[in-house]
Amino acid sequence: MNVLVLGAGQLARMMALAVKPLNINIRAFDVSSGNVVDPLTSNIIFNDLAQGIEFADFITAEFEHIDHQTLATCQASGKLRPASQAIKVGGDRRLEKSLLTQCAVANAQHKIIETKADFDQALNQLSFPLILKSALAGYDGKGQWRLKDKTTAEEVWLDIKAFFDGGEQGVKHAVIAEQMVPFDREVSLVGVRDSQGNTLVYPLTQNHHSKGVLSVSIATHVNEILQTQAQQVFDSIAKELDYVGVLAIEFFQVGEQLLVNEIAPRVHNSGHWTQQGADTCQFENHLRAVCDLPLGSTELIRPTAMINILGEDSVPNEILNVASTKLHWYGKSKRAGRKMGHINVSGKSEAQLASRLMLLANLLPEAAFDELKPYIAGYQNSLSS
């Protein structure tokens, strides 16, 4: 079986590694160069997209910000899974909010801003504080603004206007203004749906972000009420999109209610723990769905956590002395804030997992993982309270 992945980053790499035992060959379309490459070596295989499409039995994507012409070409081949509309929804918050409304899914109060009049109206209709997110270009904390009150509104508007003016010509830009949610914690659900409409979901994960970027995800046994609520949201969205593959949904937990923050039509950073914490990882399950193979189990086999490595190209070798610890590098060149790799660690119990996480936190350089130790300490305290 041959699969072409749109995008040639670490997610394509991990898909290729996960499904090699299934005799599924992955090639990746590098959107920056226009070449089709081997995602493990970056060696050029084909010189254009057309050759990649001809090679493939199926086409999928590792990220959502793909130009619409490329999506249209792949959709026309009849091989693209999930469909182009689902990928577009993940790349445009306007479409995402419309989808959530169609599915009657709870999310933050919001307003779409395309003009100064829209901006002023949002300030009058929504409650402060506000977070404003680019509809098209924002990710990992970029393309976002925060407003505590009206005192800095004009300054923020001028920055947004400059953002609009500097955007790609011919593309209508917008910002989504949202009321900030006083949430208890951030959680996410990764699930998978096949072409027959069958769905499976992994357990909800507890997430911690540092400077707008995911830094830690913890998967343990969860509140069944929240798990059921999250699965209902997943099933509703996946059905509306006629989705095929892995889909991730980020939530704010407010008491016993989950509010959708955003969706990602692809394998997701908060699902990397599945490589060590589930019988079938998210990467394999995504390709199983895309290639019409039976879905694999999504049950938690042991409490597991993932720590992102951001902007560092080395970590102490001693971390591998911590039991049930696995290190995953992405083969990238070092750059500040860049996702360079991740660490997975597991335990027989949640308490053992927390203990091993603290061992890792004590070994990792504090300058690069400055929020890790206090976060893990808080997690340990929550287990004993």
How do the domains of the chain map onto residue ranges?
2-80, 109-179, 185-384
Find the mean pLDDT for residues 22-37: 97
pLDDT value at position 173?
83
From 211-215, 275-279, 328-332, the region with the lowest mean pLDDT:
211-215
- d(CA 312, CA 380) in angstroms, rounded, equals 26
* pLDDT band at 139; cut points 50, 70, 90: low
Tens digits of residue pLDDT in 71-126: 999 999 999 999 999 999 999 999 999 999 999 999 999 999 999 999 999 999 99
- d(CA 188, CA 261) in angstroms, rounded, equals 9
Q: What is the largest CA-CA distance in the chain?
A: 59
Q: Give SS3 for 331.
A: coil
The first and second tokens of residue 310, run together, are 């951001």
Domain 185-384: give its CATH architecture. 2-Layer Sandwich (3.30)
Q: Which CATH class is domain 109-179?
A: alpha beta
Find the mean pLDDT for residues 157-164: 90
Give whole-number Cα distances, 300 to 147, 187, 228, 292, 305, in Å: 40, 16, 15, 23, 12
- Check if the beta carbon of residue 308 is closer than 8 Å to that of residue 371: no
- How many other CB atoms sit within 10 Å of the CB of residue 380? 16
Phi-psi region of 14 (alpha: psi -120 to 50; beta: other; left: phi over 0): alpha
From 18-32, 98-112, 127-141, 236-250, the region with the lowest mean pLDDT:
127-141
Tens digits of residue pLDDT in 240-292: 999 999 999 999 999 999 999 999 999 999 999 999 999 999 999 999 999 99
pLDDT value at position 119?
95
pLDDT value at position 167?
66
Query: What residues have CB less than 8 Å from 88, skipping those under 6 apart?
Result: 64, 68, 71, 95
- d(CA 267, CA 243) in angstroms, rounded, equals 13
- d(CA 154, CA 87) in angstroms, rounded, equals 34
- Check if the beta carbon of residue 37 is closer than 8 Å to that of residue 6: no
Find the mean pLDDT for residues 356-360: 98
Q: Give SS3 for 57.
A: coil
Q: Which has more pLDDT, 257 or 163?
A: 257
* pLDDT band at 316; cut points 50, 70, 90: very high
> Does pLDDT of 138 surpass 60?
no
pLDDT value at position 168?
64
> Does pLDDT of 169 surpass 60?
no
Find the mean pLDDT for residues 167-177: 77
The first and second tokens of residue 248, run together, are 């991730």
Find the mean pLDDT for residues 187-212: 96
Domain 2-80: give its CATH architecture. 3-Layer(aba) Sandwich (3.40)
**pTM of the full predicted structure?**
0.94
pLDDT value at position 222?
85
Smallest CA-to-CA distance from 264 within 295, 286, 287, 281 is with 286
